[in-house]
Amino acid sequence: MSENGHKTIELAGSVTVRDLATATSTSPIQVIKILMANGVMANINQMVDFDTAAIVASELGFEATLEVEEEVKETETGEIPFWRQIIANEDSSKLVNRPPVVTILGHVDHGKTTLLDAIRHSEVAAGEAGGITQHIGAYQVEHKGKLITFLDTPGHAAFTAMRARGAQGADIVILVVAANDGIMPQTREAIAHARAARVPIIVALNKIDRPDANPDFVKKQLADLDLVPDEWDGNTMVVPVSAKQKTGIEDLLEAILLVSESMDIKANPSSNQIIGTVIEAELDHGKGVMATLLVQNGSLEVGDVILAGKAVGKLRAMFDFHGKKIRKAGPSSPVQVMGLSDVPEAGELFQVYSSEKEARLIAEERKAQVQQKSINAPKASLESLFNRIQAGETKELRLIIKADVQGSLEPITTALNEIEKGDVNINVLYSETGDIGENDVNLASASKAIIVGFNVQADSNAKRLAEVEGVSIRLYEIIYRLTEDVEKALKGMLEPEFKEVQIGKAEVLAVFKISKLGNIAGCRVTQNEIRRNGKIRVIRNGEKVFEGDISSLKHEKDDVKEVRQGFDCGISLKGFESFAKGDILECFTLERSG
């Protein structure tokens, strides 16, 4: 029972009219009538958002509170993905060793593709002399009787996308560095991705056969980035290879097995919790949706019902990486499947369900949750940093720094290190010259970091992606402004920044004087809608005459939350009555940004 004597009910972020009627112990017809009175036309199976449902509940004598969702997929301890948590909770007596899953990263011209081809063709499992008949984004090789699974990712973005969705697929990262070129911008980026994913790195020192190769210089560069070679008493295995000459491949495979033996790479093939990751997916006009999956726990079989993100389906057929039809695949097996209803995103977690009905129900819930979250998705920002520190949610400020020239990066990093930080650690995940791009946003999203730009811009694709992923981008032209903002954020003194979001427009057709209320503007909505919780800017002859809050919004005689385009309404404003016929009322809201 709430303080005002109303009964309290818990409601989800979105709820159907039928479920709302059940929760309030009333008939769906009564709920529909109340919705209509508030300007919302709905049928019994339609979803309404929490705010609308709360108004209906209030009119029925209930106080609604937002249900706290248990987010199965995103309850991570530190950076441990959900599928690893599932395996950790399995009966240890049923766990068996599984092949390590390896992904190859590196600078664009350093020989990733050539190295993949060298590995693929030199160590294809015995009996498969015909080689690989089709490319499915993942494959397996055999070395000394043990299998190794390779993910042929097209670049860093796919790898980051996996981790960003809590479905990190790789156990080990091979970092390809050319012995003649050394560390390049994309190499640093790859290291940042691997570290953010908490995955061990093996360095493949490629092009060792080149006359201009300088392995010692590259090893020094690696040591400067805290990847100290094992021969220098460090923890990073550096393997000299020549992908072109196909030399050193055996040593690299041996290094993978050595690193995997020091890790706990296990799974339960007989588990009833069958999960894995989507490697890639596409729509084939002849076959329908074709998805490449990596099984990570349990065994996947033809006929299983799977849910991958918001895509559902019963597996009609399954192929191994040679394109050969199979009926069953165990942990660390890459397979191509047919039968999904939609194309899932790369990096999504998939799970087997007992019935298609249950899987479709969860898919619909996820779609509704995604819509709800996109409205008010939280993001790592300087403004929220102090609150997160106080709440014990973080002890680290993660930054990605982009600057116009190399000479700017060092003073920025030095200035940040000199800030009085208390117990909070400032961690610069990645710093490089150049404008802010999509890869920077992907890394920030995966690592819950903030992007700071100095004398640079964010390209349009990066801005759009940042908006979707909830990544904060802050741009500066003066170093001390940058450090001042970080310092204020650590002390909880940084004022939030807001951006204006246009909602709609209305034109004043008449002005009515009402006792006790003052002047009311009789309006017609000419664009989109007017919202009760919005702000109003009064424009007269092209100039602003007032800006402030709405005190009441009526449609006919009823108080309403919103009035849509083409409808008439009455508007009164706090602190303003001097309406004139022909005034344009612009409705907008202020949203936190930066």
**Which two three-digit tokens encode residue 12?**
């989800």
**Residue 407, domain extent:** 382-495
Smallest Cα–Cα separation from 27: which of 35, 55, 11?
35
- 37 part of a folded domain: yes
Helix (H) or strand (E) holding 540: strand 535-540
Smallest Cα–Cα separation from 98: which of 169, 20, 15, 176?
169
- 156 part of a folded domain: yes
pTM of the model: 0.54
- Domain count across the chain: 5
The answer on 411 and 386 residing in a single domain is yes
The answer on 321 and 402 residing in a single domain is no
- 431 part of a folded domain: yes
pLDDT digit of tens for each residue in the chain (594 aa)? Answer: 555 556 788 887 778 888 888 888 888 888 888 888 877 777 777 777 777 888 888 888 888 887 754 433 433 333 556 666 777 777 788 888 889 988 888 776 667 778 888 887 754 433 333 333 344 577 888 888 889 988 865 444 445 555 444 335 688 889 989 888 888 877 887 787 777 777 889 999 989 988 888 999 999 999 988 899 888 888 889 999 988 888 888 999 999 999 988 888 888 888 888 898 888 888 777 788 888 899 988 899 999 999 988 889 999 999 988 888 999 999 988 899 998 988 887 778 899 998 888 888 888 888 777 666 554 444 565 656 566 665 556 677 888 999 887 777 878 887 887 776 666 778 888 888 889 988 888 888 877 888 999 989 999 889 888 888 888 888 988 888 888 888 877 766 445 566 788 899 999 999 888 777 788 899 999 999 999 888 999 999 888 899 988 888 988 888 888 899 999 999 998 888 889 999 999 999 887 664
CATH code of residue 540: 2.40.30.10
Q: Which residues are annotated as a binding site for GTP?
A: 106-113, 152-156, 206-209
Question: With contact defined as beta carbons under 8 Å apart, do 194 and 163 qualify?
Answer: no
The answer on 114 and 163 residing in a single domain is yes
Smallest Cα–Cα separation from 159: which of 185, 134, 189, 183?
189
The answer on 371 and 399 residing in a single domain is no
CATH code of residue 196: 3.40.50.300
The answer on 476 and 507 residing in a single domain is no
CATH code of residue 474: 3.40.50.10050
Residue that is last in its domain, among 242, 264, 286: 264
The answer on 386 and 364 residing in a single domain is no
Residue that is last in its domain, among 495, 519, 538: 495
Rounded Cα gap, residues 234 and 228, in angstroms: 4
The answer on 539 and 512 residing in a single domain is yes
Residue that is last in its domain, among 375, 398, 414: 375
- DSSP assignment of 300-357 equals EETT-EEEETTEEEEEEEEE-TTS-B-SEE-TT-EEEEEEESS-PPTT-EEEEES-HH
Q: Which residues are annotated as a binding site?
A: 106-113, 152-156, 206-209
Torsion angles phi and psi, residue 280, rounded to 5: -160, 160
